[in-house]
Chains A and B, each alone.
Chain A
Amino acid sequence: MKKVVSVSLGAKSRDHAARTDLFGVPMELQRIGVDGDLEAARKLLRELDGHVDAIGLGGLDVYLYVAGEQYIIQDGWRLMEEVKKTPVVDGSRVKDTAERRAIHWLAEKGPFPLTGQHVLMVSSLDRFGMAEELAAVGADVVYGDLMFATGVPYPIRSLDELKEIARKLAREIVKLPIHMIYPVGKAQEEEPVEKFPEFYHEAQVIAGDYHMMRRYMPKELPEKAVITQTTTQADREFLKGRGIRWLATTTPIIEGRSFATNVVEAALVAAKGWHPQEVGREEIEAALDEIGYQPTVIDLGGEGRQAHGHR
């Protein structure tokens, strides 16, 4: 039995544990949140180091891959540096690959359209694969990174401008304390404060990080679709309460369970005995094929029924 632990900067209330087979190997998976406490995360990582088969870092990214460039979020990197013996990953490689596939699948088979639709991507530098793929399928995307991460009232309206602004800003912004640019810990559970609501209302589809979109979400968004990562039952209730019709989650479902991408990447490393740096695009594509990856779409307007590919 391999043991994989995900240490998340997110809320403790989302903790869970499970036993399942992943990539043909029995696995014990556990997620431990630290409510945004970086020191608690460091302590936990030191305790786990050498005692589990792989560690995932959740609730923040360490590596951002934007237009062929890699940027390293310093708070995340410092956490990774605590781990000396056990392979540790942040899930960014699985996320990039899975989300590209998810958008492609949704555009072809999903129950709501993407091509020609207004999409608000609340954050895109943390999921550039999704950003690129949305543009590729012909969605009319507003990239909200400046608005929602930095408060600057400037919607980025093209992939080229996103790349240009990323080249200017990303290398420095990643050095800031994570809480300045992303809601961590308890901030993920606070009552949303509306910010740039007109962009939510204008969009037919709202995409990107769940905690970022939730934090600034207006009270009523009838018939909209949301594309995001893992959600809990409480998250689904929250979105349904806002009037959201479709919820597409991009995190892999394995044996009926949804796993965060850092968990999947850690499980992959544990199962295959790989060094984290050996996990390339081809290996992830093969792993996603192995688990028959596709996004999950739930019709929140239809009593939470899982939708299948149709339109």
Chain B
Amino acid sequence: MATAEELREALEDFVARYQEEPRLKVMNRDWDRVLHVVPTDLPEGRFTLRVKEGDVLLEDGASGEADMVLRAKSDLLTDLFFGDISPTEPYMQGDLRIEASEEDTIRLDVITLMIWGE
């Protein structure tokens, strides 16, 4: 099990890497979304990723409406946002639940692969 601080570090790393790939800003310019990151074993470790006009921001907590909700154990979410694992397999195996449209799910997959793929 990861701590809230570890998950935050992973999310901060994700945001930093996102910003290092300029094509992601172009790719997501039309994709304003609110993503809630919800660790199922860590109630105090909830976060929000807000994508707006191609930029992404990290916020503490996960309240209000969200377009996408990512639910998994805290260590899986931490590994995922550090890029140690890809989301596809845990998603297909049911370890990562993504409450979102298929289009948004694929978009998130593309974002993570653009950052960590290869």
Whether a CB of chain B sits under 8 angstroms from the CB of A273 is no
Q: Which residue of B lies closest to A164 (CB)?
A: B118
Partner among A150, A151, A168 whose Cβ is within 8 Å of the Cβ of B117: A168
B117 near A172 with CB under 8 A, answer yes
Q: Which residues of A contact B102 (CB under 8 A)?
A: 180
Is B1 in contact with chain A by the CB < 8 A criterion?
A: no
Question: B77-118: which residues lie under 8 A (CB-CB) from chain A?
Answer: 86, 88-89, 92, 102-103, 105-107, 109-110, 113-114, 117-118
From A150, A167, A171, give the contact of B110 (CB < 8 A): A150
Whether B106 contacts A150 by the Cβ 8 Å rule is: yes
Q: Does A279 contact B (CB under 8 A)?
A: no
Top-3 shortest CB links A-B: A168-B117, A172-B88, A154-B27
Instruction: Jot down 16 A-B pairs with beta carbons below 8 A, ordered by A.
Output: A146-B27, A150-B107, A152-B28, A153-B26, A153-B27, A153-B29, A154-B26, A168-B113, A168-B114, A168-B118, A169-B110, A171-B117, A172-B86, A175-B89, A176-B88, A180-B106
A172–B103 Cα distance when bound, in Å, is 16
Residues of B within 8 A of A152 (CB): 27-28, 107, 110
Judge whether A287 is part of the interface by a CB distance below 8 angstroms. Answer: no
Tell me if B67 counts as interface (CB < 8 A to partner A).
no
List A contacts of B5 (CB < 8 A): none
CB within 8 Å for A154 and B23 given contacts A167-B118, A169-B113: yes
State how many angstroms separate the Cβ of B106 from the closest Cβ of chain A: 5
Bound complex: CA A150 to CA B113 (Å): 12
Minimal Cβ-Cβ distance residue in A for B89: A175
B59 at the interface (CB under 8 A from A): no
Interfacial chain B residues near A168, Cβ < 8 Å: 113-114, 117-118
Residues A151 and B106 in contact in the complex (CB < 8 Å), given A146-B27, A173-B113, A175-B88: yes
Q: Is the CB of B113 within 8 A of A172?
A: yes
Which residue, of A152, A173, A180, has the highest number of chain B Cβ atoms within 10 A?
A: A152
Q: Does B30 contact A (CB under 8 A)?
A: yes
| Bound complex: CA A176 to CA B92 (Å) | 8
How many Å from the CB of B59 to the closest CB on chain A?
A: 24
**A residues within 8 A CB of B92?**
175-176
Give bound CA distance, A173 to B117, whole Å: 11
Could you tell me the distance in whole angstroms from the C-beta of A179 to the nearest C-beta in chain B?
8
